[in-house]
Chain A
Amino acid sequence: MQTPTSIYLDHAATTPLRDEARAAMLPFLGERFANASSLYASAREARKAIDEARERVAAAVGARPEEVVFTSGGTEADNLAVKGAAWHAREQGRDAVVVSAIEHHAVLDPARWLARQGFRVTEVPVDEHGSVRLEALGRAVDARTALVSVMWANNEVGTIQPVAECARIARSAGALFHSDAVQALPWILVDAAVADLTSLSAHKLGGPKGVGALIVRRGVKIQALMHGGGQERGLRSGTYNVAGIAGFGAAAEATVSRRDTISARVAALRDSLARLLGERITGISVNGHPTERLPNSLSLCIEGVEAESLILLLDAAGIAASSGSACTSGSSELSHVLLAMGVPRRLATGSLRLTPGAGTTVEEIETAAGRIAEAVRTLRR
């Protein structure tokens, strides 16, 4: 059987490794193997690579290098922010956490775990576009609130959240504000000064998997999850992932330097994909905010089609796409994001997330639209 040319439309799940990142990593996968915490010349080389990467990551979000805490990825950064802030604040008499209902599970699940430890946890609803309801957020925050966590942009539908307003609400009650900017950083300006804690991930912007960072603003106190060698100012013990961190720094710098141009180009591709699909498929609707949306995000509901069957047919047709987030699509549960937005269950069963990236071409978009329309036709026969 002839395999069709493959088209990757799942950049929200992960991205290909950038050349700059690979080049920055290679020495540390070879002869420069020293432990960055050791005291001899080769170790200093490794330490230098980490400190340079720290400067690059900090610059990408307008933070100071000493505010960057490297982690094993976005999930660890989110866990460190939510649990670390909550545990610290409990000692100060604050025992409540407020999150949006559409957070990534790396925020939602730590919050729900805290609820089982006795914290009061509130999940704030969103409107039909997936924007957090600010008035509801305002009502949820009080003098007991330790932390408010609202993501910079949603990973499933791409809606960009009003983080500055959320931060204001949090701070007016003396609470910390955390934002998961994992999906946002590759595409839009992320200013770490907006939040007290900001989660980042390398592999969403052309870096390697297994590296991320939590930006902890100066003066913000949280507790560590990992205790041991005392790396990262005691906030994240563990031998440095030198190659990964070096790759993260290079990828972050390269991404941010050309972000505006790439975002505009990918937004045009995304819009043309939406238009082509809209012309060829009836009963299709776009999820997320009409304007305040990540430039590469296209979340669709297709009536009368089950996402699981569609993903299978698209896979066979060479198209890599998701029904929701990559984590849950192993066995698709109905998306908590779409349900929170009020999408009916019947429609949420037919959700499809298409996320083109920097390497996507016009030809790929046209071919993909044809194959997707064909798959939907097959399933509707």
Chain B
Amino acid sequence: MKVLAALSGGVDSSVAAAMLVAAGDDVTGVHLRLADAEPAAALHGCCGVADAEDARRVAQVLDIPFYVWNFKEVFAGAVVADFVAEYARGRTPNPCVRCNERVKFGALLERALRSGFDAVATGHYALLHPDGGRVRLCRAADRAKDQSYLLARLGQSELSRALFPVGGETKERTREIARSFGLRTASKPDSYEICFVPDGDAGGFVERALGGARPGPILDPSGAALGEHAGIHRFTVGQRRGLGLHGPEPRFVLALDPERGAVVVGPEDLLARSGLEAEEVRWTAGQAPEWIGAVQVRAHGPEIPATLEWTEGDRARVRFARPEGPIAPGQLVAFYAGDEVLGGGLIARGLG
């Protein structure tokens, strides 16, 4: 099989490529250039050039062809602009979800297929089980590393051409495999930040993109003003820190109101929701399932037992077995039946 391995420069994608090479596949490595790297930052191992060099070195050791492909424009438009726009309207985007659906299994997969490849491989921790004419997407063997949530919006046309070779491994085992191939990424630390926000300050990044702070009021649930904030883009539903409020009771962000530019805060128990409504839903099988067992509403978040109340077009309503929170609009909701991913959508709103 002719496989295009997306090499990020990290250990997981390195091992994914190595496992395919060992299995006898015809593998070509591609590193995606997604942003302009600051040369000085690259020296400190933050992003960009240093990762591209690690990716190239892995390809050399595996003795596979290697290319750097420039996806800056598509990434800026489909991921970064979406990230900024979502925060600006008081929602909490997940850029990795967007990148997976629009870049890695969007533009890259399309180009790979056109260039004669049969599949695109990444270092995601998730399992693919062919079942009759379709492919089931399931949680990874290593639940602590499971990334099926981030892939929940992929459909059959993407999953049938995707390979996640490390999905059956533990992280420790992945590092062992990297060492056994002599890959220099073996001991590279995991990255947790958003790749285009290396300093971790998403609020500051959005603010620079928006051209400045957008101050507004902090309100309590009754509408009484408690203080000022620098912009709703700096907050997420459920957030406690950064409000600058003093008082005996801890207060949490309950809602973000883009119309008034307001951050609504209150005690933790007001975060609980009985369910949620989702939009832009994509079902893994191509059509809505009969039932779901649970949902997950943030990366590495807990599984919430839930039932599907209704679906209509690309919208769906979910009822939780018991109230849960926080539910942040804009976040991905992934639908599960046991270990299997049934689909994913964006949270439109939590239900009272």
Question: Which residues of the other chain, A, contact B67 by a CB distance below 8 angstroms?
Answer: 308, 311-312
16 residue pairs of the A-B complex, CB under 8 angstroms, read A306-B111, A308-B67, A308-B69, A308-B70, A309-B111, A312-B28, A312-B65, A312-B67, A313-B116, A316-B65, A331-B52, A331-B68, A331-B69, A331-B70, A378-B115, A379-B115
- Chain A interface residues toward B at CB < 8 A: 1, 306, 308-309, 311-313, 315-316, 330-333, 378-379, 381
Name the CB-closest residue of B to A305.
B114
**Interface of B with A (CB < 8 Å)?**
26, 28, 33, 52, 65, 67-70, 111, 114-116
Partner of A309 from the list B33, B52, B65, B115 (CB cut-off 8 Å) is B115
Interchain CA distance A332-B52 in the complex, whole Å: 14
The CA of A98 and the CA of B68, in the complex, are separated in Å by 33
Among A312, A332, A379, A381, the one with the most B-chain Cβ atoms within 10 Å of its Cβ is A312
Closest 8 CB pairs of A and B: A331-B68, A309-B115, A331-B33, A308-B69, A331-B70, A332-B70, A379-B114, A312-B67
Q: Are A330 and B116 in contact (CB under 8 A)?
A: no
Q: Note all chain A residues with C-beta closer than 8 A to B33.
A: 331
State whether B65 touches A330 (Cβ < 8 A): no
Chain A residue with minimal CB distance to B115? A309
**Which residues of the other chain, B, contact A332 by a CB distance below 8 angstroms?**
70
For the A-B complex with A313-B115, A331-B70, A379-B114 known, give 13 more contacts whose Cβ atoms are closer than 8 Å.
A308-B67, A308-B69, A308-B111, A311-B67, A312-B28, A316-B28, A316-B65, A330-B68, A331-B68, A331-B69, A332-B70, A378-B114, A378-B115
**Cα(A378)–Cα(B116), bound, Å:** 7
Which residues of the other chain, B, contact A309 by a CB distance below 8 angstroms?
Answer: 111, 114-115
Residues of A near B69 (CB, < 8 A) are 308, 331
Number of CB contacts from chain A to chain B under 8 A: 33
- Nearest-neighbor residue (CB-CB) of A309 within chain B: B115
Q: How far is the CB of A112 from chain B (nearest CB, A)?
A: 14
B55: min CB distance to chain A, Å: 11
CB of A283, distance to nearest CB on chain B (Å): 16
A residues in contact with B70, CB < 8 Å = 308, 331-333
For A380, the closest partner residue in chain B by CB is B114
The complex places the Cα of A188 from the Cα of B33 at a distance, in Å, of: 38
Residues of B within 8 A of A316 (CB): 28, 65
Residues of A within 8 A of B65 (CB): 312, 315-316
- Complex Cα distance, B73 from A306, in Å, reads 14
Q: Which residues of A contact B52 (CB under 8 A)?
A: 331
* Minimum Cβ distance to chain B for residue A219 (Å): 38
**Contact assessment for A381 and B114 in the assembled complex, using a CB-CB cutoff below 8 Å:** yes
Which of chain A's residues has its CB closest to B26's CB? A1
Q: How far is the CB of B320 from chain A (nearest CB, A)?
A: 46
Give min CB distance, A305 to chain B, whole Å: 9
Give min CB distance, B90 to chain A, whole Å: 35
Chain A residues, CB < 8 A from B115: 309, 312-313, 378-379
Instruction: Specify which chain B residues have a CB less than 8 angstroms from the CB of A306 in the assembled complex.
Output: 111
Complex Cα spacing A192 to B69, Å: 40
Q: In whole angstroms, how far apart are the Cα atoms of A315 and B65 in the complex?
A: 9
